[in-house]
Structure 1
Amino acid sequence: MTAEAVYLRLRATDPRHWHALAAAWRQWATLAGHLAAELPPLLARFAAAWSGTAARAAADRLGRLRRGLAVFRVLCWQADQAISEFASALDRARALLSRASAAAARGGLAIADDGSVRGGPSAAVSPDLSASLAVAARADEAATARLRAAPDRSPTLERPACTAGPAEVRRWWAGLGVGEQRRLLATEPGWLAPLDGIPAADRDVANRLLLDDRRAEVSPAGLATLTARLASDDGPRAYLLRLDTTGEGRVVVALGDPDQADNVLTHVPGMTSDLASFDGELTRASGVATRATDVGPAASTSAVLWLDYDAPDFVDEAASARQADAAAPALNRFQEGLRSTHQGATAHRTVVGHSYGSLVVGKAAAAHDGLAADDVVFVGSPGVGVDSAAQLHVAPGHVWSSTSRSDVIQYAAVSPHGLADELTRAGFGVVTPERHLWFGENPSDPSFGARVFASQPGGGHLGYWDQGSQSLNALAAITSGRIP
């Protein structure tokens, strides 16, 4: 497609129509799910009231119908994914085109129908205009390729061992034909859904297929909110990468496909986080991605909420590193999975740990094999398990930290020895933010060696994501790799 054709189509298109089309495919998948859910009770009634050859034939027919509905749902979600990512890219391309048009108007210039700038020097217009056309063209090519993917009859490969790493799982999955992949998604979603190394789009399909079966396993509050977010066409498409309804529940949700994004942010929440309250944490992660996209629409950013660990509920639990120690290997494996499944040019990967989540991230980054991330960020931290940024397997200059002066964590999580020293020095004066925290040196203290960024003095423990705040701007800049 020529630049002129791309420009004319981009100028005329309305991304809202594409978002609506994607939502329609999601609705078809939901309808097919309702139909499939009615079949097991029907089969049970058949078995109780009817026997013989005809009964078995009827039951077999209904079983094939249910499997067919599962395949239909897989195809619906795959169409939804391709169109949703196309629509989001058009949003960014249109934003760049609007900036180019505004710059042209300010300079008394005009953008012709062939996409060229006329009337004078185009230096202020061309970068955004060229970027908008490039984003639209790439989106068109990617959507076309995904929607044209045809099934084949390639043989089934031997399945990876349970000890296989994400890279090995990825190689196995990529070696399967499209038809075999769809068959496995429709028939064995429970096995595929938690596998790091399976692409995000396919894990999303597998987990969505399992979602209906899990509604009865957990209180409806968390699943109702999750279901609503998965169905929503407000903002980037949600990808369900992990769902565990045991205990208080665990969930991993990405906004935008992390396998196609230029930047990927993984947000690790802290104490009291669970399935029932995941939406607030997802909103915080989304705010960073939204701000990054507002500032630089040419690059796509996916925000991932990683809540695949048992976060502490009470202070006595939060005083132990046990849950962070247990979570760190899973976070490392997840990040390695994101690296192995990413398509195209390497993404800029950032991992943010908040509160107790910063200890999880610190433990993961301190492991001998390190954390697959370009930047690691700690906010509102009680300590990260080490006393120096040099003890983390992260490139120098890419460990970041911020703690608001009003964040209670720096007082509530003071180490007993450090608090005694501080009180001795202060006497009857004011106790200042503590350097020695419960889980090691304060990462926001200069002695730790992290790059400290500003946050709102009165933001408390949750103000780091407030709209317009210095900390949100810094998180967005770090996520998009705009700070060298």
Structure 2
Amino acid sequence: MVTFAQLKAVEPAQFEQAADGWHKVSSSASAAKDRLDNEINAKLRGGLKGQGVGAALGRLERLSGNFHYMQVECALILTALNGLAAELRAAKKKLDNAVQDARDAGMTVKEDGSVEYKPPLVLLPGQEYEPSGNGRTPYVTTTPKQQAQGFADRIGDALKDATEADGKYARTLGKLITVADLSVTKDDWIDADKDRGAVEKTVGDYLRDVPKDKSPKDNAAWWKSLSKEEQAEYISLFPASVGKLDGLPAEDRDEANRVVFSEQRAKYQTELANLPPEPKPKYILAGRSMVLNPEWSRWNGKREHLKSSLDGLNAIQERFDVTGKVDPYPSKRPSGYKPTGDGLPPAYLLDIDPENNGRAIIANGNPDTADHTAVMVDGTKSKLGAIRTPIVRGTNLWQAASAMPGEPNVSTITWQGYDAPQNLFPEGMLNRYADRAAGDFSDFLSGLHTSHNPSANDHLSVQAHSYGSVVAGSAARQGTLEADDVMFSGSPGVQVGRAEDMDVPSGHVWNQKAKDDPVPRLGAPSHGHHEGLTQFITPHDPIFGAKQMSTDTRGHGNYWVAGSESLENQARVVVGRYDEVQLK
């Protein structure tokens, strides 16, 4: 039980000062992690080879993981300490107000918190009064005893609040410990997620809710209104919500989403490892037919979801691990092709959600400081479990664009921020997936402009493939597509019938169609702009008005083959070298 003397003497600012110290530790750990990942490890990957280098990288990557875990846990501690300070300050204020009111009423508050009052002078039978100080003797309906009891009760309430705060924060802070070893395991990250839940429950309403359904500019204004320590608290307590906010700096979104990524990856690894044995039998008799056992179907659905999401999470981790490499995906290169130039830049995770089909947004390089940014949106069958191929395409485009004359500062972004159709028919024939995604896509583009550093050039391109072009077209049709250039590859149609409807300057809509790509023809009746009974306009049609880029690749999914003219043309558009784009 917190005593009267203890609450009177407590200084909430001392807990805030302690929180400041934990913030410095958390920030230092974050800076150390970033330096390891983006400078030291990147240089080792880019310039050296051998067993010794591999062993050193393994140790340094483990050290980076330790720093990341330290950053997260220290941020939770600072949030809890600030929450405790806020609750103690409220309890202390309640106590001080009660004490002052008692004194103003002429009563004495003793060292143990009890309230002493003077016996009243009886004036009339049944009526009591206190000297009012103005020479009059007013009738009162509350006796001094009752008034004193009211002050005592208020003091008791303040002590109760302080005691409850002391107890719950002591329990929560006591849980923020870890085993002293050299490696951060998936169990540690699962524990970190539990720690977050405990801190969130403990601090209650200490932090206001993260904005929902606000514009990127509103999100940015809210974020800028917070101090660095308050931002750290929000990232520590609500990483998933903060990480999704368009308009926030890429570095802050990445920091928040890395926490979600590490915890969710650990969770999915644990759930897959602990999946119950396969139910038997797989098939059961239903009437005269053998059908799948519903219990087996549920088990298999859970297993396939866990495996698919983990495939995607592991592909993202692989991208983190190839930062600095000049040839990060050699198995995806054409035979005999060898990339040149700088190694891959740091990756920024701008969204991550492994639930259902999964979503992820990952950037090569910081889009806030890049002079040229390309947002790549893929189409049918896009999901987290299949994100490795889009990531490789994004790195190929980054390398091709960054290798252009003048050493342009480029960022390419793989945007899988929507629920894509998962089959060609019937889902791929429907517009509703694109229509639902359009608002999120527009907000993301607007958010890139909002968070962009004004000292850098802000040239933004959209590269839309297959059904992704339907998303881009729907975004332009329903609102405003805030881009400078739009490139379509293998487009089945974009819902609008003219390049001018895409919201970009005249002459800045580009199209690619490989000779044997069947999607533009097959998808036109569903996604092309209907003009008459049998005419369905797509970006490939001359009347649409797009510039037709030459394409030397074959098929529907090879527009990003390293070294190809198809990829080089995209890169020229990305960096604004329009006169060099090869047209048909």
For the aligned pair, the TM-score class normalised by the smaller chain equals: 0.5 to 0.7
Q: Which residue of 1 aligns with 2:144?
A: none
Q: Which residue of 1 aligns with 2:320?
A: 230
Which of 145, 167, 172 in structure 1 is aligned with 2:217?
Answer: 167
The question of 1:207 aligning with 2:257 is answered yes
Which of 192, 197, 201 in structure 1 is aligned with 2:242?
Answer: 192
The answer on whether the counterparts of 1:157 and 1:172 sit within 8 Å (CA) in structure 2 is no
The question of 1:367 aligning with 2:507 is answered no
Q: 1:392 to 1:213 in 2, by over 3 A?
A: same
Counterpart of 1:19, as a letter, is A
Matches of 1:353 and 1:55, distance apart in 2: 55
Q: 1:174 to 1:480 in 2, by over 3 A?
A: same
Deviation at 1:365, TM superposition (A): 2.0
Q: 1:475 to 1:159 in 2, by over 3 A?
A: same
Q: Which residue of 2 aligns with 1:347?
A: 458
The question of 1:258 aligning with 2:367 is answered yes
Q: Which residue of 2 aligns with 1:445?
A: 541
Deviation at 1:448, TM superposition (A): 0.6
The 5 A counterparts of 1:7-46 are 17=40, 19-20=42-43, 27-32=62-67
Q: 1:470 to 1:231 in 2, by over 3 A?
A: closer
Q: Which residue of 2 aligns with 1:398?
A: 508
Could you report, residue by residue, the CA deviation over 1:118-163 in whole angstroms, capped at 9, with x for unpaired residues? xxxxxxxxxxxxxxxxxxxxxxxxxxxxxxxxxxxxxx99777423
The 5 A counterparts of 1:50-69 are 59-65=171-177
The question of 1:478 aligning with 2:478 is answered no
The 5 A counterparts of 1:433-472 are 436=535, 440-456=536-552, 459-472=554-567
Q: 1:354 to 1:417 in 2, by over 3 A?
A: closer
Q: Which residue of 1 aligns with 2:228?
A: 178
Counterpart of 1:273, as a letter, is S
Q: What SS class does the counterpart of residue 226 from structure 1 fall into?
A: helix
Matches of 2:437 and 2:378, distance apart in 1: 12
CA RMSD of aligned residues (A): 3.3
The answer on whether the counterparts of 1:157 and 1:176 sit within 8 Å (CA) in structure 2 is no
Worse overlay, 327-336 or 210-219: 210-219
Q: What SS class does the counterpart of residue 464 from structure 1 fall into?
A: coil
TM-score normalised per structure 2: 0.55
Matches of 1:481 and 1:448, distance apart in 2: 22
Matches of 2:208 and 2:39, distance apart in 1: 43
Deviation at 1:58, TM superposition (A): 7.2
The 5 A counterparts of 1:81-100 are none
Could you report, residue by residue, the CA deviation over 1:13-61 in whole angstroms, capped at 9, with x for unpaired residues? xx9757348988864342256689999xxxxxxxxxxxxxx99887444
Matches of 2:506 and 2:526, distance apart in 1: 30
Q: 1:482 to 1:259 in 2, by over 3 A?
A: same
Matches of 2:514 and 2:256, distance apart in 1: 40
Q: 1:175 to 1:392 in 2, by over 3 A?
A: same
Q: 1:16 to 1:180 in 2, by over 3 A?
A: closer
Counterpart of 2:537, as a letter, is E
Worse overlay, 217-226 or 390-399: 217-226
Counterpart of 1:199, as a letter, is P
Identity rate of aligned residues, in percent?
32
The answer on whether the counterparts of 1:350 and 1:375 sit within 8 Å (CA) in structure 2 is yes
The answer on whether the counterparts of 1:159 and 1:172 sit within 8 Å (CA) in structure 2 is no
> Runs of 5+ in structure 2 lacking a partner?
1-37, 46-56, 75-165, 179-205, 269-305, 326-343, 529-533, 580-584
Could you report, residue by residue, the CA deviation over 1:81-134 in whole angstroms, capped at 9, with x for unpaired residues? xxxxxxxxxxxxxxxxxxxxxxxxxxxxxxxxxxxxxxxxxxxxxxxxxxxxxx
Q: 1:482 to 1:352 in 2, by over 3 A?
A: same
Could you report, residue by residue, the CA deviation over 1:331-389 in whole angstroms, capped at 9, with x for unpaired residues? 00000000000112332100011000011011112233x11110011110000111111
Q: 1:392 to 1:20 in 2, by over 3 A?
A: closer
The answer on whether the counterparts of 1:367 and 1:393 sit within 8 Å (CA) in structure 2 is no
The question of 1:357 aligning with 2:471 is answered no
Matches of 1:166 and 1:175, distance apart in 2: 14
Matches of 1:417 and 1:16, distance apart in 2: 46
The answer on whether the counterparts of 1:263 and 1:301 sit within 8 Å (CA) in structure 2 is yes
Q: 1:16 to 1:33 in 2, by over 3 A?
A: closer
The answer on whether the counterparts of 2:431 and 2:527 sit within 8 Å (CA) in structure 1 is no
Deviation at 1:260, TM superposition (A): 0.8
The answer on whether the counterparts of 1:378 and 1:402 sit within 8 Å (CA) in structure 2 is yes
Matches of 1:193 and 1:413, distance apart in 2: 35
Q: Which residue of 2 aligns with 1:82?
A: none
Matches of 1:160 and 1:36, distance apart in 2: 21
Deviation at 1:63, TM superposition (A): 3.6
Tell which structure's C-alpha radius of gyration is larger: 2
Q: What SS class does the counterpart of residue 578 from structure 2 fall into?
A: coil
Matches of 2:564 and 2:429, distance apart in 1: 30
The answer on whether the counterparts of 1:160 and 1:168 sit within 8 Å (CA) in structure 2 is no
Matches of 1:277 and 1:289, distance apart in 2: 20
Q: 1:244 to 1:259 in 2, by over 3 A?
A: same
Could you report, residue by residue, the CA deviation over 1:313-344 in whole angstroms, capped at 9, with x for unpaired residues? 11210011010000110000000000000112
Matches of 2:451 and 2:482, distance apart in 1: 13
Matches of 1:349 and 1:296, distance apart in 2: 19
Counterpart of 1:30, as a letter, is G
The 5 A counterparts of 1:412-431 are 412-415=522-525
The answer on whether the counterparts of 1:160 and 1:172 sit within 8 Å (CA) in structure 2 is no
Matches of 1:261 and 1:159, distance apart in 2: 31
Matches of 2:477 and 2:452, distance apart in 1: 24
Worse overlay, 173-182 or 310-319: 173-182
The answer on whether the counterparts of 1:157 and 1:175 sit within 8 Å (CA) in structure 2 is no
Matches of 2:261 and 2:477, distance apart in 1: 35
The question of 1:221 aligning with 2:311 is answered yes
Q: 1:274 to 1:168 in 2, by over 3 A?
A: same
Matches of 1:400 and 1:224, distance apart in 2: 34
Matches of 1:417 and 1:346, distance apart in 2: 34
Q: 1:296 to 1:174 in 2, by over 3 A?
A: farther
Q: 1:173 to 1:384 in 2, by over 3 A?
A: same
Deviation at 1:390, TM superposition (A): 2.1
The answer on whether the counterparts of 1:400 and 1:452 sit within 8 Å (CA) in structure 2 is yes
Matches of 1:448 and 1:56, distance apart in 2: 65
